[in-house]
């Protein structure tokens, strides 16, 4: 591995299925302890990448290391070390929640298995229903059980493929809170999702890709790169001459007037805002409040994917 701080290192990883190139020379590193978002349209190769990194399928070319183990050469070690929540996680419906977890726990050779099963069933609110067949569970309960299954052996690296897909808002919120808690425990999490709001809230960094890498950075850094930073001044009345006044400042990149708001593009609002506020007040503006325009991650994503 090239870097001890990286939980996952991917170098020129490529996967093709006959003539279809699913992943094209992907090179990224995932830092230990971060939540790393993999974003991309359907068929972009997200699930294929996760499958390669969890040693379920082999790469066509390129190399990757997960928790220090090389994909393709140390697959058994990788499978023992990582946890995976698949896109459509199946359960043994005839068996109870407790029996399902026990089976997978035994497969992972979990020490003190009954205590681990109890811990995760309690943590995810399924303890009271532990003896009921999973076939009777709601989708949200099944998803929580699948998350428990992925965590049972305390994996250092966790792959979550669409963890809140199809869940009601309450269940989705619970799962998101749980993922945030996992970060606090220092686990490395690779989150594959179409829910951009979820990625924005949870991920430390995101990679947008469509077979190959389109962009990689923190959500805010990507916003700034693509859209710059914008500050909104809410005024009692947005007189036209105020916009002209703002434009006179050399550091101002753009100015828009929308209703009673002045939207100003700045590269360093922290130092430039006080100057603008003072100037606007002296020019007779009545400022109600000032805030930064937060560009939606959706806009960032659409710009990258459709570029």
Partner 1 sequence: MRKIWILVRKEWAEVFKNRFVLFTTAFLPLLFAVLPLVIMYATGNYASDINDLASTSDVPPEFMELCVGLDGSGCMQYFLVSQFMLLFMMVPMIIPVTFASYSIVGEKSTRTLEPLLATPIKTIELLTGKALAATIPAVLATWLSFLIFAIGAFILATSPGVVGKILDALWLTAIIVVGPLLAIFGVTIAVMISSRVNDPRVAEQVSALFVLPLVGLFVAQSLGLIYLNAQLILWMAVILIVLDTGMFAFATQLFQRETILTRWK
Spatial distance between the Cα atoms of 284 and 87, rounded to a whole number of angstroms:
57
Confirm or reject binding of residue 51 to partner 1 (CB under 8 A): yes
Q: At closest approach, how far in Å is the CB of 220 from partner 1?
A: 33
Among 84, 151, 179, 207, indicate the residue that binds partner 1 (CB under 8 A).
Answer: 84
Confirm or reject binding of residue 157 to partner 1 (CB under 8 A): no
Q: Which long-range contacts (CB under 8 A, 24 or more apart) does 183-188 make?
A: 183/33, 183/34, 183/35, 186/32, 186/33, 187/33, 187/155, 187/156, 187/157, 187/158, 188/7, 188/8, 188/30, 188/31, 188/32, 188/33, 188/34, 188/36, 188/156, 188/157, 188/158
Confirm or reject binding of residue 112 to partner 1 (CB under 8 A): no
Residue closer to partner 1, measured from CB, 55 or 203: 55
Q: CB under 8 A: which stretch of 55-63, 113-121, 213-221, 262-270 binds partner 1?
A: 55-63
Which residue in the block uniquely carries the two structure tokens 């183990």?
69
Confirm or reject binding of residue 58 to partner 1 (CB under 8 A): yes
Among 3, 43, 103, 125, indicate the residue that binds partner 1 (CB under 8 A).
Answer: 103
Percentages (nearest 5) of helix, strand, coil residues in the chain: 40, 30, 30
Q: At closest approach, how far in Å is the CB of 85 from partner 1?
A: 9
Residue closer to partner 1, measured from CB, 33 or 89: 89
Q: 128-147: which residues touch partner 1 (CB under 8 A)?
A: 146
Q: How many residues make contact with partner 1 (CB under 8 A)?
A: 30
Task: Provide the strand spans (E) within the chain.
Answer: 6-17, 20-31, 35-39, 61-66, 69-70, 82-85, 157-161, 188-192, 205-210, 212-217, 229-235, 254-258, 261-266, 287-293
Q: At closest approach, how far in Å is the CB of 70 from partner 1?
A: 16
Q: CB under 8 A: which stretch of 81-89, 231-239, 246-254, 274-282 binds partner 1?
A: 81-89
The binding site for partner 1 (CB under 8 A) comprises 17, 48, 51, 54-58, 76, 79-80, 82, 84, 86, 88-95, 99, 103-104, 106-108, 146, 149
């Amino acid at each position: 591995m090239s870097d001890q701080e990286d939980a996952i290192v991917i170098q020129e990883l490529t996967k093709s299925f006959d003539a279809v190139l699913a992943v094209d020379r992907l090179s990224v590193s995932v830092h230990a302890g971060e939540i790393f978002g993999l974003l991309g349209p359907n068929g972009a190769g997200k699930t294929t990448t996760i499958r390669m990194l969890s040693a379920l399928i082999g790469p066509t070319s390129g190399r990757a290391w997960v928790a220090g183990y090389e994909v393709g050469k140390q697959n058994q070690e990788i499978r023992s070390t990582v946890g995976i929540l698949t896109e459509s996680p199946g359960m043994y419906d005839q068996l109870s929640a407790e029996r399902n977890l026990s089976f997978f726990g035994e497969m992972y050779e979990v020490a003190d298995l009954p205590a681990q099963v109890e811990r995760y069933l309690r943590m995810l609110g399924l303890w009271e229903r532990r003896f009921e067949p999973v076939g009777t569970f709601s989708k949200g309960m099944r998803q929580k059980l699948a998350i428990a299954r992925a965590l049972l052996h305390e994996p250092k690296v966790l792959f979550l493929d669409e963890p809140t897909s199809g869940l009601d808002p309450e269940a989705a919120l619970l799962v998101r809170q749980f993922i945030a808690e996992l970060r606090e425990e220092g686990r490395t999490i690779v989150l594959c999702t179409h829910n951009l709001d979820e990625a924005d809230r949870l991920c430390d960094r995101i990679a947008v890709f469509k077979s190959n890498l389109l962009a990689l950075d923190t959500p805010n850094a990507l916003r700034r790169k693509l859209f710059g930073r914008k500050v909104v001044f809410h005024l009692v009345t947005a007189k036209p001459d105020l916009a002209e006044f703002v434009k006179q400042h050399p550091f101002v990149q753009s100015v828009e007037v929308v209703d009673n708001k002045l939207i100003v593009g700045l590269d360093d609002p922290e130092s430039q805002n006080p100057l603008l506020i003072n100037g606007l007040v002296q020019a007779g503006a009545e400022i109600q409040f000032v805030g930064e325009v937060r560009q939606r991650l959706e806009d960032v994503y659409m710009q990258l994917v459709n570029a």
